Amino acid sequence: MKSLSPYLRILFLMAILPWVFGCQEKVRRAPPKKLNTSAAAEAITNQNLEEAFGHLDTLDEFNQETVKHEILGKINRWIFTTQFDDAWKIDPLVKQLPKEVRDSYRLKDLDTSALRDYELRYEMNDQEFTAYRGGDYDYLQGVFWSSRIAKDVTKNGVADPELIAWINTAHPKLPVNEKDDLITASLLFDWSVRSIQLHKVPGVVTPGTTRDTWECLQLGYGDHVQRSRVFISLARQRGITVLMLEVPDANDKLVTYTPAALIGKQLFVFDALYGLPISTATGTGIATLKEIISEPEVLASMNSEKYKYPLSSAGFAKASMLIDAPSTALMQATAMIDKALSGDNKVFMHLRPSEIVDKLKERSNVVDVRLWEVPYLAEDSVRLRLSDSNLISEFVFERQISDIESPYGIARMLHLMCRFDQNLQRNGARQMYLLSRKMDRDMAQLTRTQQIEQLELQGVPLQGTPQQIDDYLQRMISSTKMFKELSSYQLGLIALQSSEFDSAIDYFSVRVLKEFPESVFRSSTHYNLGRAYMAKAQGEETEKYLALAIEQLTHEDDLVSPQRRGNTLLAERLGK
């Protein structure tokens, strides 16, 4: 099994490799728009909207496919009993997209459509099924998760004291609110690096197009472009604009995407592939685009003894600026929703790209800005993957571990909602991950009736015919070791995020690497274990913990990690 990829090893464990084919698309068309007729109607429809977003906060209590239709139904009833603004115009930047993108079904009727539900049908074992993923609900769910994560990180994240000192020294005139935004952007980027493991991009695939942002959040992995998009999504929920820089290589052929946060009049640049901000010429802080272009020493600071930094100042000088604006974010419907929501339900779904361009022109005289095509390709990835026989099994595996009503699936959802601990007799993510860890031992010792009772006690209701329940139980039993592995890793992440460093070290080193040396999250486990040791080095026995951190960041079992270059640079900096 060592010769198999991590995906295939887990698929083997699950023993659920259906061959899916014959995908075709059915779009649910929105009903004609209607107008408000009374104050009573308005009160009822506003209640529909609040109830829909209330459901998003209790997703762990519902069947996911059922609650999706309930949420979309309530939101769309609100939309079509609320008056559209006939004067509202689609953002002018949409017209500048390539024709094949502009004419895609995702960008149709942005001014008059309700939230859309695209049914993707496929056949399996001579039966027809519908994949309930692929529509605007996914964007809504991703925005909701991003909002909860960004709020938690901003409230509970611990800013790097060296970064704060650098900001006060290098940018003493930066207004307090902009200093806070730069610190917040740094914390959100760091969360993205710790939480989204990098996977290599297949050579024939455009980076960023195989999974949308909501998928990367749910699964915890993606390529460097997808990791950047997670960062962009988190920052947007805190009112921070992050653009993607399209940086050409020395031959003006291959391009690399790297995110830059607009703080005041400056663009501060991060590198999602390295997992580090681009540092200033002194190897500290976060460099601005202006500094990168004008000071060759800046990118020289990103060289390690083993690896030369692949981008150049000349490349950054030619960089285009791209706006990540998913199709759902461009709809009038999401503008209406944003305006109506308040309090705990407040999220930012809508985006007006032309306003970002105006802001850039006002602040930095930048004019080379356009909408980014990658988000529209990523939105369509579910349909494309179900149409490709080489990608179907991977998609089915990902949906099985994430959407199935299992302790792990529920725990992951609670994790993304930042409900870590038990509250008012409702289990938190930790409790559900711990239950998932114990499943391999507990399920094997129970009778069928006891297995059903145990799952129902854990909040996993079993429905269907006796044969369907038996099939479900068999899948659960065959998958228990995989769920134990994944839960151990996620418990380590929660401990690290909660500054429980000894607990994080135990989970990463013992519960993951020792028990599952071929873990699908091996690279992130080594990295996050190094981060836990780095945090321990701030106290006593500094040299001991720095040595342990360097060992993990440069571990020989992690040679093929896409983040290897950045980890090597970080390790060298720790050793100085």
Could you state, in chain order, the average pLDDT of each consecutive group of 10 residues for the chain (576 residues)? Answer: 35 33 39 42 70 86 84 92 92 95 93 90 68 90 97 95 95 95 98 96 84 96 97 98 91 86 95 98 96 95 95 93 97 96 90 94 76 95 84 80 82 95 86 88 74 71 78 72 94 97 98 95 97 94 96 92 96 94
Q: Which residue in this structure is represented by tokens 């460099």?
A: 287
The enclosing H or E element of 259 equals strand 255-263
The amino acid present at 311, given as its one-letter code, is: L
DSSP state of 318: T
Query: Are residues 283 and 193 in contact, defined by beta-carbon separation less than 8 angstroms?
Result: no
Count CB neighbours of 317 within 10 A: 13
Of 413, 353, 27, nearest in space to 220 by CA: 413
Count CB neighbours of 199 within 10 A: 23
**Per-residue model confidence (pLDDT) at position 45:** 62
Q: What CA–CA distance (Å, rounded) separates 300 from 576?
A: 17
**Per-residue model confidence (pLDDT) at position 23:** 39
DSSP state of 423: B
Query: Are residues 566 and 190 in contact, defined by beta-carbon separation less than 8 angstroms?
Result: no
- β-strands 117-124, 276-277 pairing: unpaired
Q: What tokens were used for 218?
A: 């749910």
Q: What tokens were used for 453?
A: 């009772």
**Per-residue model confidence (pLDDT) at position 24:** 40
- The crossing angle, in degrees rounded to 10, of helices 136-156 and 64-79 is 100
| Cβ burial 532-556 (10 Å sphere, 16+ → b, else e) | bbbbbbeeeeeeebbebbbebbbbe
Q: What CA–CA distance (Å, rounded) separates 514 from 526?
A: 12
- β-strands 276-277, 320-323 pairing: unpaired
**Per-residue model confidence (pLDDT) at position 47:** 84
DSSP state of 426: B
**Per-residue model confidence (pLDDT) at position 487:** 96
Q: What CA–CA distance (Å, rounded) separates 223 from 105?
A: 26
Q: What CA–CA distance (Å, rounded) separates 564 from 553?
A: 8
Q: What are phi and psi of 131, to 5 degrees?
A: -85, 120
**Per-residue model confidence (pLDDT) at position 123:** 67
Cα distances from 451 to residues 401, 465, 466, 472, in angstroms, run 19, 16, 13, 11
- The crossing angle, in degrees rounded to 10, of helices 466-497 and 522-536 is 30
3-state secondary structure of 86: coil
**Per-residue model confidence (pLDDT) at position 9:** 36
**Per-residue model confidence (pLDDT) at position 48:** 84
